[in-house]
Amino acid sequence: MSERYLTDATMEPAKLTPGIAMQKVSIHQIANSSSPFGLRHKPPWQQRFPIRCPRIPQANLHYHKIVKNEYYGYPQEWFPSVSATIGDRYPERSVFQICIALTSGPRFMLVLLWYYLTGRPGASLPKFVAFVGVARTFLCGGWVYITSTDDHDWHDIFMISYLVLTLPWTLGCLATSPVNLKAVKYRKILASLFFGTLVPLIYFFIQHKVHKVPGAYTVYAFFEWSLILYDVGFDAVTALDFEGFELRLVDTKGGFNRGSAQMADVYAEDSKKERRPLAQELTNAFSWPAMIDTLSDVYLGFVFWSVLTSLGVVVWYFPLWHMGISGYEVAILATISPYLLTNSVVRKTVFSNLHFVYIGSLTTLVAFLVTTPEVRLFLTTTGLFFACLAWASDFSLGSTTNKLDIKTAAFSLGLIMSSVAKFANQTNNPIWPLMNAINGGWNKIGLVLTVLAIARVHFRQPSHPPVDTTMYTGKDGSKYLAAIGLGGLLFALHSLLSDSSTMITWVWDGYPVKGPLAAPHGAYTLLAMGGGFLIGLLRQEIATSPGFFAAGCIGAFFLQSFHGWWGYYGALVLTVYLMAIVPSFIQSCARYPPGSTFGTAFMVYNLLVLAHVWVVAYAFVPGGFLLRERTWLVMTITMALIGTGLSVIVSNTRGNSHIKSRSEYGISGVRRTSRSYFIYALAGLELLAVSIAYLRFPRYDYKPYHPEEKLVTAGIWTVHFALDNDMWSSERRMRDLIKEMELDVIGLLESDLQRIIMGNRDMTQFLAEDLGMYADFGPGPNKHTWGAALLSKFPIVNSTHHLLPSPVGELAPAILATLDMYGTMVDVLVFHSGQEEDAEDRRLQSLGISKLMGDSPRPLILLSYLVTKPKKGNYNTYVSTESRMNDIDATDWDRWCEYILYRDLHRVGYARVSRSSITDTELQVGKFVVGSGQQSTEEQVDEDEMREGLRFPPQFRGDGVRGHRYHVFDKPR
């Protein structure tokens, strides 16, 4: 621990424990807590399982240098990692390089023999497995011979690629294994150990890299070495399969007619005759046309979810500007278009021309070509109208053409693909109508791929509508129960799983980090979605069991009730359950007339969406008090509706004679031959998710703009939910202004986008990663606020989230964070007060914030939205002897909402920057020097007299750039 933290140990107690409730702890306690930024602490796993460092002689090769990492050395770290051992020092690394060279030949031979053992005419999977095996061997040589000392980036690329290819190698070997129970048993055990070890491996790597925990890298090294043992052991099991596999060297000149390779073929063929593959789905002859068909179906599923999730954020633009009900909300009724299928003429017309209905959904994808918000809303609504009609019809047709499983699998994988696309684009879907080429959209590519997918799926063969009188076999009495179950499921999928970080923000509780992060842990959500998809695809009897439903309810309870990892564990269980039941629920509804079932399902979905909005927008909607801050009630109703739909499925599977057999519902040969391609598609999406998680892994090496001056540039900005005045996503425009203003700290208000009406987005991910800043999302979406976020170039040592008193109006969020600014602990408070109409709320909130500021013993900056006039009313509570706060510019009378207050810092400058068309509120910026020992005065000086490092950026003088300029005073003060 550095000396500066030791000298702070005598400071007064401070309110720094994370959570809504405040507790007093000292700086010394902080320095020994689980701070993620270099302060000494002992995490729970070290307290429970202390790892004692063995005594090592001082001069044994390069031991002390090999165990040393960028943070710690011996004795905190005492066991070397694989990379350090094989790459850092001679002669240690030579031993491993020689061993790899000696084993490369046997490794290539193993791959070759495995191909001879498992290959057969027409089977593509053994060839694929052989290719992966060869590629892994070369990659192994890459990370061994190109060491981290030689080239750290290429070493990591080879290492990660090797680990990624381990998944298809392992699954491929299991899928093509001969019937050898002992070998299969050992393979499953070793594969489970290998992939199970990745979880603690990643955990301890994060403890080392992010939290800088002493000794964490040593524990990580043990798991890293164990991976090698499991990997080698998995391949060593092939010895059991090769027991009956004989190779002969034959002298062809001695009278034999066959060479050694030909003899190997003969004996391998004899061995293959005695076996059957364990995973028949994966060993069927591979067909590229079938794979393209599958990818086309999945992509259309992705387009459906993209269109569905885009409507909420497009509709939200209008009540946002009207500050209440605008009338445009009626657009959400576009989803109930399946009700039209109750008319037999419409039904037959749609069934016969389904490809044209899918083409109608393209209107959403061309909306980006239009700049007028109202027209874009109309096009988005029209596209969703046709999309819901098309998929409801496709599900109904699938129940009679033995292709329902194909459509349900494409529907589920489309959701996963949509979440992966948002994971790759920091929660924005690249084909949404609020995206374009300027702000990161891929709209043109998405449109072209959609046209190709529709052409592939719907023009390869004509549609043949079934006869209305014989196609539906369900009882009329339970069709509405099945429909409301599907409606509850659709809402759960959209509200919780349409973005991989939504449930992570539910359980986020500030710093020190005690739970998952959006990146990289969003990949965990995507892996859980894939696991649920496989259960639903292969074992629907498990998915629809009462015990599994109970597990899903427990997961929902944990998500709703706990923060940190325990809440996220519940989220993962709920994720698996929701994805697993998708096929069963759709198949249940497809047995009934599509109009009444799918139309009702989407109507229930719409009602839940409104309830989902009402819990936070209660101050602006009729009857809002009924659902005010009752997310738990919405969650309970959702699970109850899902349980109702499940009861229909369970009752229908108990031997009712009117139900078709399993083979008639798509569990026949069509499903068996097609589902393997969906597994391939899932594997590709999951590998992509893992790769994205690696690329987005936070670096945490951020630096302020002017450390030579010990300068802090802080700003406050109400960002209007990352929608600009023309209904485009505004993160990149915000990024540009924040970067060019050289902001070290910024508070963002109206920043919680993790709701259906905001698109389940998170602007802090893009801004933090692109600008190189630490981020605190603030109170999560289950805290029922409009959001407050904090971005900082300085390490966030500790942060607490607060909900200020709001007996009448909307909840007021606040973040109190302690930042390490050049060795000095400084508090930053980000706060958004209530509405002008709720005077008592704002009075109580001013008292609460004043107390928070007064109780803090450290220098403090308030970045706030106060809704008051300078020197009047509640202003005198914020700036008072109790709070000990100063106004950054008491002479600035032209303010109403945004204020910057401070204390115990040297104020350097103050500026107000116009918003352009990004939002409806300006950006206010203050400059402070930390630890200067000087006192601020009201004396104004010309900026040219200031040192260059203390000045504001000059490009915003005069007319400015991109519509941003210094206004009100026309220049900084």
Q: Are 359 and 454 in contact (CB under 8 A)?
A: yes
Asked if 592 contacts 396 with a C-beta cutoff of 8 angstroms, the reply is no
Count of helix runs (H) and strand runs (E) in the chain:
35, 14
Four-point Cα dihedral 582, 585, 591, 592, nearest 10: -120
Q: Tell me the residue type at 597.
A: T
Beta-strand relationship, 711-718 and 745-749 = parallel
H/E stretch holding 911 reads strand 906-913
Backbone angles phi and psi of 904, in degrees to 5: 60, 30
**Cα-based torsion angle of the residue sequence 301, 767, 698, 34 in order, rounded to the nearest 10 degrees:** -120
Q: Are 866 and 747 in contact (CB under 8 A)?
A: no
- For residue 520, is the peptide bond before it cis, meaning its omega torsion is within 30 degrees of 0? yes
Alpha helices in 810-928 (DSSP H): 839-855, 875-878
| Residue 576: Cβ-neighbour burial (10 angstroms; 0-12, 13-18, 19+) | buried
Helices 125-145 & 92-118 angle (0-180, nearest 10): 170
How far is the CA of 832 from the CAs of 52, 615, 845, 903, in angstroms?
49, 18, 9, 20
| Angle (CA) 489 494 497, round 5° | 100
Exposed (0-12), middle (13-18) or buried (19+): which is 247, by Cβ within 10 Å?
A: middle
Cβ-Cβ contacts under 8 Å for 90 (sequence gap 6 or more): none
What's the residue count for the chain? 973
CA distance 962 to 964: 6
Q: What angle do CA 611, 629, 319 make, to 5 degrees?
A: 55
Identify the CA nearest to 380 among candidates 400, 402, 362, 364.
364
Rounded to an integer, what distance in angstroms lies between the CA atom of residue 751 and that of residue 505? 12
The amino acid occupying position 301 is G
With b for 16 or more beta-carbon neighbours within 10 A and e for fewer, the 911-948 pattern comes to bbbbbbebbebbbbbbbbbbeeeeebeeeeeebeebee
- Strand stretches in 760-847, DSSP E: 774-776, 788-792, 796-804, 812-821, 824-832
Would residue 929 be called left, alpha or beta, if left means φ above 0 and alpha means ψ between -120 and 50 degrees? beta
Residues whose CB is less than 8 angstroms from the CB of residue 765 and which lie 6 or more positions away in sequence, other chains included: 426, 427, 501, 518, 519, 775
- Pairing label, strands 898-903, 923-929: unpaired
Are 712 and 927 in contact by the 8 Å Cβ rule? The answer is yes
For residues 933 and 914, give the distance between their C-alpha atoms in angstroms, rounded to a whole number: 33
Of 41, 706, 802, 832, the active-site residue reads 832
C-alpha distances (whole Å) from 702 to each of 734, 739, 768, 793, 795 are: 19, 13, 10, 6, 8
Whole-angstrom Cα distance, residue 35 to residue 41?
A: 7
What token pair was written down for 936?
Answer: 């601020």
832 is catalytic: yes
Tell me the β-bridge partners of 799. 817
Q: Closest by alpha carbon to 486, among 614, 412, 595, 581?
A: 581
What amino acid positions are annotated as catalytic residues? Answer: 832
